[in-house]
Amino acid sequence: MFKCKNIKLDNHRLHVELEDGRIISTPLSWYPALLSATDEQRKNYKLIGRRTMVEWAELDLHLDIEEIFRVERKEEAA
């Protein structure tokens, strides 16, 4: 089970720091709600499910940390 320690976002990526020290970075394009959100909305998250999920209630977005590992996504060319 992957447990989240911290979340950071920049203009292009979501960075999830795990309790075991790993950092997983994924493109914001995978999460349209985060991509179009304001900085304040992006910062307004809560770790839930014993730190196995991240919730952005205002954006109605719930991210299961394990899904980052299971989902294979392809970015579309710009």
User: Where do runs of H (alpha helix) occur along the chain?
Assistant: 32-35, 39-43, 65-70
* Residue 20 counted as domain residue: yes
Half-sphere exposure of 11 (CA within 13 A, CB side): 0
Is residue 9 over pLDDT 90?
yes
What pLDDT sits at residue 29? 93
Residue 55's domain is classified under what CATH number? 3.30.2020.40
* Residue 18 counted as domain residue: yes
Tally of domains in the chain: 1
* Residue 76 counted as domain residue: no
* Residue 27 counted as domain residue: yes
* Residue 22 counted as domain residue: yes
pLDDT tens-digit map of 16-55: 999 999 999 999 999 999 999 999 999 999 999 999 999 9
